[in-house]
Structure 1
């Protein structure tokens, strides 16, 4: 009788060995394939390396700080924090009382110097009146007063000069008349001598014939000597008078020459003063224009530091900042000094805005354009860093859904290049071995 076998019971002739061997071989094959693939991945598969740094969004042309050269008293504040301004827009007005007074004083000096120059030119050229230059035909009070004052001086000086010349000319005229009188006396004495000489000739002839007494001859000779003495005196007086006349003429020439020399010297001084005053007027006008503090560029007002009408601002004090509009943005990344050896100009960078969740934004792309030559120190934290300037690509700027503003915090990943996983894993080992070998 045949007895049936239980389910699962081994049948005669069944051999489990081949199935077990195949399973083991398959397992080793899978392990070998996985190990091979893993090794190939470790050696050949590139992994992109990067360093992470914090950064700030800045405008490419930098924020402009508004300052004033001289300072002054605030008269008007025409902007508020956050206002948009256009280039050359008036931001603040300063009181102009002092600068206006200084400018008017300098202009009065210039008008006076120009009027003096015109008066000296008229005196030099011997004119009867001052020729008013176009600059002094200004209807203003300062020009009129300057011209009026110099015209008065011109008339006074001309009168004084004419009087002095007139006195010298009168002296010359008197001497000329005196000379003419002496010349008449010389002529009379000469004629008288001629007559006496004729009489002497006749008397001498008569005296030799004993027809006249000797006293008659003696009287004529005495008279001749007296007349001759008078003639010599007249001639000497003429010489003295002529010498005085020459001295008087010399005084006239000397007066004219000294007057001309004084005029030329005064002209030189006055023209130097005109030039100096003109330069000071230009400087004063420049100060006047700066009583209106204007925006150097268009942008947004930030960091407004003046709020009080009548307040005093010192020379060079920062008054406010202007963040440019319609300008490209850059990111300044603070690179750790331990990582700076991996950062080079031209490396690609990926930037995320810290204020926006990563799943709500697309990362921005850029390139490292500059790296600071030396490390910098944050004055607030005292932490050292190297500043990497990253220029964002135009595509990133257009695609960013968030309106960028200067001062936004960012997280920056600067790609340092691809390395295999094996290089990453083995680098610490090699470094440790190198240190160990150096220590030994």
Structure 2
């Protein structure tokens, strides 16, 4: 009996020691765990963020696509809400009238160019050879100018031929007059010799006086013929000089007329070439294209066949590019630690954050003063966040982000340890515990 009691006492003593050991072990584990937690809380940092909400806005101003020259709407190729790329065709204007005007002016331009080349050849006295491009672009025009060139040259040649005939006639008459002069001059020499020989004989009575008189009469007639021939030659020289002057005048008149026409045609061509681009622009600008990547926000002129006035806005496009902005509002209590350049995380309510993640951005601007929200009259500070990254789907394709999407922003203002989150409220309570409000 005594032995059994002794064994029982020993067992109770051992169990008591085990119980004490287990308690101390549990307390040690808990203490170690708490020490580890406190150590982790003292070094582990979490981001401090300032939250706000807003919406996506375009990084560029709203684009209103206008028509410079106006015209009738022929075809509308987009609809509201459609995404377009820079250079995409939005609508087409009817260019029938503009094209007709342009074609007429272009033909006039070809005609002036052909006329200038023809007049240049006339002035130089060269054969007419049109530039290959002109002859190919306007064969009818060059043919007309070629015929005009040949006609004017033929007319000049005919007039010159008449003068040439007159010149040859005068030269022939000059030859005859010169022959008469030579004959009369030679006859005078012989006549004078005969008079000199017979006059002494008449004075001595050897020859009758009538013989001398006859010789003197013949001599006088020869003198008359000589004088007549000289006068005729003088007149013929004047006539030939006049013909030569007329030759010169005809060439000069022909060249002068060509120069005057050339000057006028050159001036007309210069004026036409200044106005032609405007008509070409009317034709080219009949196709109204998007100036930016974006989304068609509103079609301001929808009637096919309607007339758009010069400068009238036809389509309104909201720009969409890789760099867009978030316009958000921050409570005045949270504005103190914000400054441009801080990193921002942007979540779009249109896309599940758990699936698609957030966007990276940077705080760009902060409003200088608070404003009131129209709905709640609550004062807020407007801020603008510039977003750099894009959201993608499972295949890596960028998701559409368009102006107007609701966004939540988290502005990273700093970081602090987990322990500070627990200590700060205690410190704040301690500081305010014995103060009177």
TM-score (norm 1): 0.68
Output the CA distance in 1 between the equivalents of 2:347 and 2:362: 14
Output the CA distance in 2 between the equivalents of 1:402 and 1:229: 121
Q: How many residues align?
A: 371
Query: SS of the residue aligned with 1:204?
Result: helix
Q: Which residue is equivalent to 1:131? A: 129
Output the CA distance in 2 between the equivalents of 1:198 and 1:260: 58
Q: Which residue is equivalent to 1:177? A: 172
Q: Which residue is equivalent to 2:79? A: 80
The alpha carbon displacement at 1:99 in A equals 0.9
Task: Map 1:49-88 to 2 at 5 A.
Answer: 55-88=54-87
Output the CA distance in 2 between the equivalents of 1:282 and 1:385: 54
User: Are 1:223 and 2:218 matched, yes or no?
Assistant: yes
More displaced 10-residue stretch of structure 1: 54-63 or 227-236:
54-63
Output the CA distance in 2 between the equivalents of 1:251 and 1:298: 74
Change (3 A) 1:216 1:281: same
Q: Are the equivalent residues in 2 in contact too, given 1:60–1:327 (CA < 8 A)?
A: no
In structure 2, list runs of 5 or more residues that go unmatched: 1-46, 416-423, 429-437
The alpha carbon displacement at 1:235 in A equals 0.9
Query: SS of the residue aligned with 1:137?
Result: helix
Q: Pick from 386, 404, 407 the counterpart of residue 407 of structure 1.
A: 404
Task: Map 1:135-150 to 2 at 5 A.
Answer: 135-138=133-136, 143-150=138-145
Give CA-to-partner distance per residue, 1:58-98, whole Å, 9 cap, x none.
Answer: 23355443222212110011111122334433221110111
Task: Map 1:309-328 to 2 at 5 A.
Answer: 309-325=304-320, 327-328=322-323
Query: SS of the residue aligned with 2:299?
Result: coil
Change (3 A) 1:359 1:133: closer
Q: Which residue is equivalent to 1:152? A: 147
Q: Which residue is equivalent to 2:189? A: 194
Change (3 A) 1:325 1:177: same
More displaced 10-residue stretch of structure 1: 323-332 or 349-358:
349-358
The alpha carbon displacement at 1:120 in A equals 2.2
Output the CA distance in 2 between the equivalents of 1:386 and 1:243: 106
Change (3 A) 1:233 1:166: same
In structure 1, list runs of 5 or more residues that go unmatched: 1-46, 425-440
Instruction: Report the aligned-residue RMSD.
Output: 4.5
Q: Are the equivalent residues in 1 in contact too, given 2:49–2:413 (CA < 8 A)?
A: yes
Output the CA distance in 2 between the equivalents of 1:367 and 1:103: 53
User: Are 1:204 and 2:199 matched, yes or no?
Assistant: yes
Output the CA distance in 2 between the equivalents of 1:112 and 1:255: 27
Query: SS of the residue aligned with 1:150?
Result: helix
Q: Which residue is equivalent to 2:17? A: none
The alpha carbon displacement at 1:279 in A equals 5.0
Change (3 A) 1:232 1:112: same
Output the CA distance in 2 between the equivalents of 1:359 and 1:218: 152
User: Are 1:254 and 2:252 matched, yes or no?
Assistant: no
The alpha carbon displacement at 1:237 in A equals 1.9
Output the CA distance in 1 between the equivalents of 2:337 and 2:66: 40
The alpha carbon displacement at 1:171 in A equals 2.1
Task: Map 1:308-387 to 2 at 5 A.
Answer: 308-325=303-320, 327-333=322-328, 344-348=339-343, 366-370=361-365
Q: Which residue is equivalent to 2:159? A: 164
Change (3 A) 1:334 1:244: farther
Q: Are the equivalent residues in 2 in contact too, given 1:59–1:327 (CA < 8 A)?
A: no
Change (3 A) 1:254 1:405: same
Change (3 A) 1:283 1:81: same
Query: SS of the residue aligned with 1:394?
Result: coil
Output the CA distance in 1 between the equivalents of 2:335 and 2:286: 48
More displaced 10-residue stretch of structure 1: 276-285 or 307-316:
276-285
Change (3 A) 1:352 1:90: closer
Change (3 A) 1:371 1:172: farther
User: Are 1:235 and 2:230 matched, yes or no?
Assistant: yes
Q: Are the equivalent residues in 1 in contact too, given 2:322–2:388 (CA < 8 A)?
A: no
Query: SS of the residue aligned with 2:291?
Result: coil
Output the CA distance in 1 between the equivalents of 2:158 and 2:331: 93
Q: Which residue is equivalent to 2:38? A: none
Output the CA distance in 2 between the equivalents of 1:200 and 1:262: 64
Output the CA distance in 2 between the equivalents of 1:49 and 1:353: 17
